[in-house]
């Protein structure tokens, strides 16, 4: 991929993810406010209006008639909201910062032209690294540094190899001085008799092959270069490159001096620098570069592992206690489940950019930026920008309208009571799906579907509950007949059976409850395809006021939100507010916001 196309491709992908990201998944879900405030627990909770949803066996165990309503919205994201905190202007300055390290007087206009707008942040590195027009003029900073480097050993003789007045003999004499001053050998070990600067560099490299000599030579030349850099006025980028090298690179430094000596007009471009040094690493330069490292790393993580979801579950339910042993209920439940994510091909996960015939590999970590030369083979086989990559964008949405009718019956046993129940529900599904796989060029041909797909079906829920005093233990199976709904004309998703167990205890005004999914539940998320929840909490029922609190945790999708804290309050029955919030936070422009947040407003009455 040419760098000129990079900006539009990365921008289109990001736009597709944000606009296409829709709604959450097909987890067990959470209907009503009471269970939502108690960590999602409801399978064995008698003191709730939502037994029809959580466990129809509760219809027989409850001795009261109940009415409830609830409307809510939840948002969950992974590695997307944090993109808002990226300092775009700082990233746009990065090419000129890198280029100016080696080009004080002939800074390339072409490199700067790549920084108009946000090109995914990564292009800025590639433009500076790959542009053959960014020349290193010896009369610029690099040349000034070389003048100070060789000044102590400059004999003033030799053939001028560049416009700066630095000769091949000057550089040869410097290499000889390094060998002598480091204590490795006397009189440069024959470097002074080398036929050329290139020959002198090879002799220097031969000496450096000795492990005992290598460290001493490196310390000497590193110390000399940093001292010369300071005398030339100082350049934090150049200093960072030298400081991040190790003893094994001493031969590369000699080759760099050789390249500087033989370059036409006394100039180097960054491609030659990378070839001589075998790549460069930058870290700890200044606040601007440190911020760029952080932002580019964040952008990489976001593109490789991301998710955005919105959930809305709403309902109205009426439960009638026919007699002390049985109950009947009906309701209307409306839920929206969908999810959007983009995932990278695992075999094409390296940042390798192409500019003309040059290929540059850019590595970004928490401790720095590493830039190396690459080639077309690695680009085609491993670059995220290769057209042979199979990246994926997947957006799936499902709106489910359910009309359930349930019945529960209780039987006294020797110790306690056993309740059984069943619910039959009509299901109307509205499906939507966008799926695309391929390289970045393929994403420019995405056609967003405009017509949803409709499906009619039915589902069966069944449950059992054992009660003894204030203690109850329940088990429920939802969608036992495995009903299917279409996401599009060719894709059918099945509401796989969901099995959940729960326990609860009631003592006066105190209610305790806990639920756990016995099996993982499928979701519509490509990056988080499974969900398996465990959660619980307590409720203080003070008649005119009840207060709830709890926590829940996804044992399969734990990387998304961490522990989720829950809570709720009901005032006089008709006003009920419940909230859930993850403990994992994302920083956006100095503010920390939860990765998952859900809010429900409703109410309920019992008589």
Q: What pTM value is reported for the model?
A: 0.65
Sign of CA dihedral 228, 360, 205, 154: negative
Specify the pLDDT at position 65: 93
Q: Is 462 helix (H, G, I), strand (E, B) or coil?
A: strand
Specify the pLDDT at position 95: 52
pLDDT tens for residues 312-342? 999 999 999 988 889 999 999 999 987 777 7
CATH entry, 3-80+307-344+391-606, from 1.10.150.20, 2.30.31.10, 2.40.160.60, 2.140.10.10: 2.40.160.60
Report how far residue 46's alpha carbon sits from residue 519's, in angstroms, rounded to the nearest whole number.
23
Report how far residue 466's alpha carbon sits from residue 412's, in angstroms, rounded to the nearest whole number.
10
Q: Among the residues of 103-189, which ranges form H helices?
A: 109-113, 123-130, 141-150, 168-181
In this prediction, the residues of the chain whose per-residue pLDDT falls under 70 are 1-26, 80-84, 88, 90-140, 152-165, 186-189, 261-272, 284-286, 299, 303-305, 354-358, 365-367, 440, 443-450, 524-528, 557-560, 588-589
Report how far residue 274's alpha carbon sits from residue 254's, in angstroms, rounded to the nearest whole number.
13
Specify the pLDDT at position 558: 54
CB 418 within 8 A of CB 340: no
Domain residue ranges in the chain: 3-80+307-344+391-606, 107-297
Specify the pLDDT at position 281: 80
* 49 Cβ contact list (under 8 Å, min separation 6): 32, 34, 66, 67, 68, 317, 319, 604, 605, 606
Specify the pLDDT at position 459: 96
Specify the pLDDT at position 447: 66
């Amino acid at each position: 991929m040419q760098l000129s196309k990079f900006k539009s491709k990365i921008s289109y992908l990001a736009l597709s993810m944000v606009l296409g990201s829709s709604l959450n998944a097909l987890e067990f879900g959470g209907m009503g406010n009471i269970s939502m405030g108690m960590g999602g627990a409801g399978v064995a909770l008698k003191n709730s209006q939502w037994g029809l949803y959580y466990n129809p066996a509760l219809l027989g165990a409850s001795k009261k008639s109940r009415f409830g309503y609830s409307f809510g919205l939840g948002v969950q994201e992974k590695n997307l909201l944090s993109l808002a905190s990226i300092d775009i202007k700082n990233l746009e300055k990065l090419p000129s910062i890198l280029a100016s390290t080696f080009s004080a007087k002939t800074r390339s206009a072409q490199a700067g032209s790549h920084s108009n707008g946000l090109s995914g942040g990564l292009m800025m590195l590639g433009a500076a690294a790959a542009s053959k027009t960014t020349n290193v003029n010896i009369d610029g900073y690099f040349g000034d540094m070389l003048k100070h480097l060789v000044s102590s050993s400059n004999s003033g003789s030799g053939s001028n190899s560049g416009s700066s007045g630095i000769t091949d003999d000057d550089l040869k004499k410097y290499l000889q001085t390094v060998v002598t001053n480091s204590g490795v050998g006397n009189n440069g070990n024959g470097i002074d008799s080398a036929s050329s600067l290139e020959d002198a560099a090879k002799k220097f490299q031969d000496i450096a092959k000795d492990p005992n000599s290598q460290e001493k030579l490196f310390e000497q030349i590193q110390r000399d270069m940093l001292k010369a850099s300071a005398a030339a006025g100082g350049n934090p980028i150049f200093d960072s490159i030298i400081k991040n090298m190790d003893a094994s690179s001493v031969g590369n430094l000699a080759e760099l001096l050789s390249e500087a000596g033989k370059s036409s007009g006394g100039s180097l471009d960054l491609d030659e620098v990378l070839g001589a040094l075998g790549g460069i690493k930058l870290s700890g330069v200044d606040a601007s570069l440190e911020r760029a490292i952080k932002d580019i790393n964040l952008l990489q993580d976001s593109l490789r592992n991301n998710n955005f979801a919105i959930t809305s579950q709403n309902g109205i339910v009426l439960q009638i206690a026919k007699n002390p042993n049985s109950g009947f209920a009906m309701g209307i439940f409306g839920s929206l489940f969908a999810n959007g994510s983009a995932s990278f091909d695992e075999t094409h996960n390296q940042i390798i950019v192409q500019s003309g015939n040059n290929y540059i590999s850019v590595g970004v970590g928490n401790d720095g930026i590493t830039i190396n030369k690459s080639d077309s083979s690695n680009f085609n086989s491993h670059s995220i920008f290769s057209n042979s990559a199979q990246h994926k964008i997947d957006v799936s949405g499902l709106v489910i309208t359910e009309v359930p009718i349930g019945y529960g019956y209780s039987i006294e046993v020797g110790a306690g009571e056993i309740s059984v129940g069943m619910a039959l529900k009509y299901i109307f599904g509205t499906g939507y799906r966008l799926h695309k796989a391929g390289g970045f060029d393929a994403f420019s041909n995405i056609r967003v579907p405009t017509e949803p797909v409709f499906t009619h079906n039915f589902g069966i829920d069944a449950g059992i509950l054992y009660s003894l005093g204030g203690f109850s233990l329940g088990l429920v199976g939802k969608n036992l007949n495995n009903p299917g709904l279409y996401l599009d004309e060719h894709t059918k998703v099945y509401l796989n059976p969901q099995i959940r167990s729960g326990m609860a205890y009631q003592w006066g005004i105190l209610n305790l409850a806990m639920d756990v999914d016995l099996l993982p539940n499928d979701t519509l998320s490509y990056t988080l395809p499974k969900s398996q929840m465990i959660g619980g909490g307590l409720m203080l029922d003070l008649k005119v006021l009840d207060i709830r609190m709890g926590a829940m945790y996804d044992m399969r999708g734990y990387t998304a939100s961490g522990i989720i804290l829950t809570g709720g309050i009901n005032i006089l029955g008709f006003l009920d507010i419940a909230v859930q919030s993850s403990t994992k936070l994302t920083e956006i422009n100095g503010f920390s916001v939860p990765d998952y947040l859900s809010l429900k407003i409703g109410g309920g009455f019992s008589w």
